Amino acid sequence: MKRSKRIETLDARPVNLDGYINEWPEMGFVAMSSPYDPKPSVRVEDGKIMELDGKPR
């Protein structure tokens, strides 16, 4: 079946030409388990979280 000109035009738009990028930890493009992720931690005092992943409240 022949494709219409309208569909060909829509498919050629830049938004439809996006691709995938490989993991790139230095730029933050990692889905999970980046080498730059902070070590998980939590510190609770009097029912309040005072520190999370090494960062104070």
Contact 34, 43 (CB under 8 A): no
Task: Name the residue with higher pLDDT: 53 or 1.
Answer: 53
Structurally, how many domains does the chain consist of?
A: 1
Q: Which residue has the tokens 């730059």?
A: 36
6: tokens are 């309208």
8-53: per-residue pLDDT in tens? 888 888 776 777 788 889 988 888 888 888 999 999 999 999 999 9
Q: What is the pLDDT of residue 14?
A: 79
Q: What is the pLDDT of residue 55?
A: 94
CA gap 57, 47 in Å, rounded? 13
Q: What is the pLDDT of residue 22?
A: 86
At position 28, the amino acid (one-letter code) is G
Q: Which string of DSSP letters, residue by residue, matches 3-40? A: PPHHHHHHHTSGGGG------BGGGTB-SS--TTSPPP
Q: Which pTM value belongs to this model? A: 0.47
Q: What is the pLDDT of residue 48?
A: 97
